Chain A
Amino acid sequence: MSFTSLSKLKAQLDNGETTAKELATRYLDRIAAHNDELNAFVDIDPAHVLEQAEASDAYRSKHEARALEGLPIAVKDIFCTQDGPTQCCSNILKDFHAPYDAHVITRLKEAGAVLVGKTNMDEFAMGSSTETSAFGPCRNPWDTDRIPGGSSGGSAAAVAAALTPAALGTDTGGSIRQPASVCGITGLKPTYGRVSRRGIIAFASSLDQAGPMTRTVRDAAMITAAIAGHDPMDSTSVMNAPQVDWLGACDKTNMKGLKIGKPKEYFVDGMDIEVRTCIEKALEKCKELGAEIVDISLPHTESAVAAYYVIAPSEASANLSRYDAVRFGHRCDEPEDLLDMYTRSRDEGFGAEVKRRILTGAFALSSGYYDAYYIKAQQVRTLIRKDFLDAFEKVDVIATPTSPIAAFRIGEKTDDPLTMYLSDIFTIAVNLAGLPGLSQPCGFAHDLPVGLQWITPAWCEDRLLSAASAYETATDWSNKTPATFGGNTGGAK
């Protein structure tokens, strides 16, 4: 019942089977029952959730229902909301209340959605496991000793355990797709510039993009349709972007004539053999559905992680310089002078991973190193973009594993930042190239969910949704839910 897709809940609301208030109550009850175990939500205001639901029911009684009328949607703690705290899971933003709503929050409200609360994340979205959160680690509903992925781990865990039917995440290097993959749900990162970044706390401005985390492909399309579009207040939101028939794209049930690129660099030694088997089987299924599998090469894939770990920290070190203890955020007690105020407030407020990234970025941008690191990384980025352009001359869409491994154990990689960084190896290039990417469930490895990643050219999210919809219709993987939380499939435990 709780593991129902957003589209089905919408149908139930539309035909009067349920009300927004009933839905809100049902999911609030599930949050109350299970959040302690998962730590997926970091802020919940039940009274305010019910207020929104009642307002939606009242609106429906007088007007035609809006696109997301009465549907509960959780958002990552990175989105500024006027209601409740926005803390980016960092001590430097402890108890921060944003003076305005992020553009996507305004869009969700305008579409009639009921915002359920803020979800856990890696501090400032810097991480792949939701272990660096100032509110403590989030846990994977398939095995609570394991990570839910990151940085949007709270959103992924909340959807996977049906504490909410859908959530918003952000994706800078895989932070929507990788947690979706390891929690067995669907996650979409739209084309860079498709969704406004205004009011989303900035990590790396040339890479960050918001998107949905849902049970089904159609649910992802519904939410993206509501949040996409030009925003004059965000200079990186692209004007006159090609339009997409979001929901129409999800009606596809076959892959006749579809050319799927299989990049050899994404099927390498060192990846989990069971993960690899899942992906190979998924591609076989695509063939049955009428697709042609074409071997391709993206030759600069190997350099993507290195380029990313120069570009993202560089942009982060510039973006996070705003936490100066003057206009907002944590200030240390009794600063001796201005320098003491800056340095001590930032030392106290930022966690270890955030400091590591700021320092890495400050180093890469510092005098004498800028050309060797930052400019070089941006040149390599150009080559990575060109790899994709060349590949899309030959194929319509690219299919890869989302992550080389299934969910690892909490604490397993925290001592070695570099190994943690390498877990993003299959998602990062998509951000560097500004392309859309989608991860959907495609099987299990060691009883843990595995994700299949689709990549298309910029602005071709419809092609992405069509391929994923056809695969979803032909298989049962998106219907698998963790038994420990009332679902239908036994997890690792």
Chain B
Amino acid sequence: MEIDVKKVAMLARIRLTDDEAGELGPQMNNIIGYVEQLASVNTDGVEPTAHPHDVALPQRIDVVTNTNRRESLQSCAPKIESGLYVVPKVIE
């Protein structure tokens, strides 16, 4: 099987130059080729693992524990204005 690297890269929202795609393509085909050996393992009736210890997801008590930390949480943002994240125009 030949992987369409550019298509997968678009799914993952990563731009790839032609050079990068040319290098990554064969490498990914190698990796996927290697993991295809899984097909030869008999897994009839085997449950897929969801958690290594089969424990249920715990729930916290439904009370507010976080305070307003807008300023400190936004201090690492690339671009903010009036407490909002600024991104390129989405709607014309």
Contact = CB atoms under 8 A, between A and B. Distances in A.
Nearest to A347: B15
Interface string B2-14: 0101001111111
B64 interface: no
Given A338-B90, A417-B27, A434 B52 contact: yes
Contacts of B74: 327
Interface of chain B: mostly helix, strand, loop or mixed? loop
B79 A359 contact: no
Contacts of A300: 41
In this complex, which of A192, A306, A329, A344 has the most chain B Cβ atoms within 10 angstroms of its Cβ? A306
A309 B37 CA distance: 12
B46 A382 contact: yes
A434 B52 CA distance: 5
> Size range of the interface on A?
35 or more
A380 B35 CA distance: 12
Nearest to A239: B58
A343 B89 contact: no
Contacts of B83: none
Contacts of B24: 352, 355-356, 359
A310 B33 CA distance: 12
Contacts of A330: 78
B72 interface: yes
A347 B20 CA distance: 10
A363 B27 contact: no
A215 interface: no
B48 A378 contact: yes
A444 interface: no
A384 to B, nearest CB: 9
A317 B9 CA distance: 11
Contacts of B20: 347, 352, 355
Q: 7 tightest A-B contacts by CB? A: A434-B52, A378-B48, A331-B78, A343-B15, A379-B43, A347-B15, A362-B12
Interface of A: 96-99, 192-193, 206, 232, 235-236, 238-239, 300, 303, 305-307, 309-310, 317, 321, 324-331, 335-344, 346-347, 350, 352, 355-356, 358-364, 366, 372-373, 375-383, 385, 417-418, 421, 432-434, 458
Given A341-B88, A346-B15, A417-B31, 17 more contacts: A98-B76, A232-B58, A328-B76, A339-B13, A352-B20, A355-B14, A358-B12, A363-B32, A379-B48, A382-B43, A382-B49, A383-B41, A383-B46, A421-B31, A432-B52, A434-B53, A458-B52
8 contacts: A192-B52, A206-B49, A331-B79, A341-B87, A341-B88, A342-B13, A366-B11, A376-B41
